[in-house]
């Protein structure tokens, strides 16, 4: 099975047109694009992505515009798009309405960060109805039994949080993360992707060598957007970072 790179950015940071250009650049080397809906209280996200949420919201980014971005992106690329959000925007729009509009726009999957798997029965049923893939997160302190339940609820991949705390760039991969990955691979039937703190080629290579089926990268891209804004330099740097990470995945796959 080919190992995957999931690339995350926040929709509307710094504006809608830029997001579309960034997605097109990332799609050259990414297997999946994860598009975050800006939220006023993104509790799972570190400072870098929190600031991106604020920038997007200040520019008037709304849920409906995220669907517009995906619809426009579909004119250029068939790279799968997974939307990441918190439950409040889904609830406000209505779960079925949200999922239906995501499907109509050309979206492929959904991550609702703060929806516990124990309370997701209706949500899962609606996602099945519209053939929208589901992704749930598991943290290092997740019990074996709960990991099994999360695995059952996932139809795309299971997203392993590689550390305690929020998203953000880290320098080193912890033993905790590698041990958790090993446990998840022993227990789970779905592909297991690792995120939170993955920011360079060496990280991607190491996780793939350790058995991950994919890696999720966000803050490393969002920092580039924060630094260079809506510019051609941003597009170039995003593409370079994405290529570097994909190369790490390919190296990790070959070395296995």
What is the percent of the chain with per-residue pLDDT over 70, rounded to a whole number? 93
Mean pLDDT of the chain: 92
Please tell me which residue, 66 or 52, carries the higher pLDDT value: 66
Encoded tokens for 166: 């929020």
Q: What single string gives the DSSP state of each residue in the chain?
A: ---EEEEEEETTSS-HHHHHHHHHHHTTT-SEEEEEPP-S--TT--HHHHHHHHHHHHTT--HHHHHHHHHHHTTT----EEEEE-HHHHHHH-HHHHHHHHHHHT--EEEETT--GGG-HHHHHHHHHTT-EEEEEE-TT--HHHHHHHHHH-SSEEEEE-SSS-----SS--HHHHHHHHHHHHH-SS-EEEESS--SHHHHHHHHHTT-SEEEE-HHHHHHHHHH-SSHHHHHHHHHHHHHHHHHHHHHHHT-
Rounded to an integer, the average pLDDT of 128-148 is 96
Of 90, 94, 45, 244, nearest in space to 13 by CA: 45
Q: Give Cα separations from 148 to 20, 100, 107, 152, 227 (angstroms).
A: 36, 28, 26, 6, 40
Residue-wise pLDDT tens digits, 158-212: 999 876 444 444 456 778 889 999 999 999 999 999 998 889 999 999 999 999 9
Range of the structural domain that residue 210 is part of: 4-254
Instruction: Identify the active-site residue in 13, 45, 151, 213.
Output: 45
Please tell me which residue, 117 or 47, carries the higher pLDDT value: 117
Residue 171: its pLDDT value, please? 54
73 pLDDT more than 60: yes
Q: What is the pTM of this model?
A: 0.94
- Looking up residue 132, the CATH number of its domain turns out to be 3.20.20.70
Q: How confident is the model at residue 46 (pLDDT cuts 50, 70, 90)?
A: low
Instruction: Identify the active-site residue in 2, 13, 34, 118.
Output: 34
Asked if 208 and 181 touch (Cβ cutoff 8 Å), the reply is no
Of 180, 173, 144, 175, nearest in space to 159 by CA: 180
Residue 256: its pLDDT value, please? 53
Residue 165: its pLDDT value, please? 44
143 pLDDT more than 60: yes
Q: How confident is the model at residue 42 (pLDDT cuts 50, 70, 90)?
A: low
Residue 109: its pLDDT value, please? 98
71 pLDDT more than 90: yes
Answer yes or no: 2 catalytic.
no
Rounded to an integer, the average pLDDT of 214-241 is 96
Rounded to an integer, the average pLDDT of 30-46 is 82
Residue-wise pLDDT tens digits, 2-33: 999 999 999 999 999 999 999 999 999 999 99
Rounded to an integer, the average pLDDT of 31-40 is 93
Task: Count up the domains in the chain and report the number.
Answer: 1
Residue 203: its pLDDT value, please? 92
Residue 167: its pLDDT value, please? 44
Residue 168: its pLDDT value, please? 40
Q: Give Cα separations from 122 to 118, 125, 157 (angstroms).
A: 11, 5, 19
Answer yes or no: 186 catalytic.
no
């Amino acid at each position: 099975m080919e190992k995957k790179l999931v690339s995350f950015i926040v929709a509307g940071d710094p504006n809608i047109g830029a997001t579309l250009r960034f997605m097109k650049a990332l799609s050259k080397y990414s297997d999946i694009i994860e598009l975050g809906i800006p939220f006023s209280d993104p509790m799972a996200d570190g400072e870098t992505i929190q600031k991106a949420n604020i920038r997007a919201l200040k520019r008037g980014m709304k849920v409906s515009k995220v669907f517009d971005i995906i619809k426009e992106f579909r004119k250029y690329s068939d790279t799968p798009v997974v939307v990441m959000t918190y439950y409040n925007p889904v609830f406000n729009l209505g779960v079925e309405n949200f999922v239906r509009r995501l499907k109509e726009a050309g979206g492929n999957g959904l991550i609702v960060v703060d929806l516990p798997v124990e309370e997701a029965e209706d949500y899962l049923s609606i996602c099945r109805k519209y053939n929208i893939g589901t992704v749930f997160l598991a943290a290092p302190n997740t019990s074996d039994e709960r990991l099994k339940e999360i695995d059952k609820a996932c139809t795309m991949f299971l997203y392993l949080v590689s550390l305690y705390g929020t998203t953000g760039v880290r320098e080193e991969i912890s033993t905790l993360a590698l041990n958790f990955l090993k446990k998840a691979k022993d227990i789970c039937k779905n592909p297991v992707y690792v995120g939170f703190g993955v920011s360079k080629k060496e990280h991607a290579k190491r996780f793939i060598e350790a058995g991950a089926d994919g890696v999720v990268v966000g803050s490393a891209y969002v920092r580039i957007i924060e630094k260079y804004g809506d510019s051609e330099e941003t597009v170039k740097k995003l593409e370079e970072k994405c290529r570097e990470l994909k190369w790490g995945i390919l190296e990790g796959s070959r070395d296995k």
